[in-house]
Amino acid sequence: MLVHEGSHDLLEGYSIKLKSFIRVINQLIGTFYMDDIQNLHEGNSTAYYEIKVKGRIEENMSDWFEDMSIEIESTEGGSTVTTLRGVVADQAALQGIISRIGMLNMTLISVTKVNDYPENAQC
């Protein structure tokens, strides 16, 4: 395990959410670490990602998320989903973005490395 799940109960109601978030981060780190090794071997660690979170991230926060584009949409159930899209320099930058999502106490839905990225995106 890359992040320790110790018995740090911040507040009783947030303990389970924190442990779930740590599990997701550990899974993502493990998955992307293997991609990173392959990219480093090929000489390229820059990639285009699409990250979905439950809730709303305002567009004026794009600089806090590595200048990724921010798209907000409402689902049929009435909840809001924010999609971040853009070029991420390396795995450390990706982990920083995921960490910021956690700092905002938002639920991470998915992180997808996109192979067919827009022509104007420079990887």
Q: pLDDT per residue over 37-80, tens digit each? A: 555 445 557 889 999 999 999 888 888 888 899 999 998 889 99
- Write a three-state SS string for 53-122: EECCCCHHHHHHHCCCEEEEEECCCCCEEEEEEEEECCHHHHHHHHHHHHHCCCEEEEEEEECCCCCCCC
pTM of the predicted model over 0.85: no
pLDDT for the residue 32: 52
The answer to whether residues 121 and 87 touch, using CB atoms and an 8 Å cutoff, is: yes
Banded pLDDT at 7 (limits 50, 70, 90): very low
Average pLDDT over residues 21-42: 58
Nearest to 91 by CA among 20, 22, 40: 40
Banded pLDDT at 9 (limits 50, 70, 90): very low
Helix (H, G, I), strand (E, B) or coil at 39: helix
Q: Retrieve residue 37's tokens.
A: 């090794």
pLDDT for the residue 116: 77
Q: Retrieve residue 38's tokens.
A: 């392959």
For the beta carbon of residue 13, count every other beta carbon within 10 angstroms.
8
User: Was domain 12-114 assigned CATH 3.30.70?
Assistant: yes
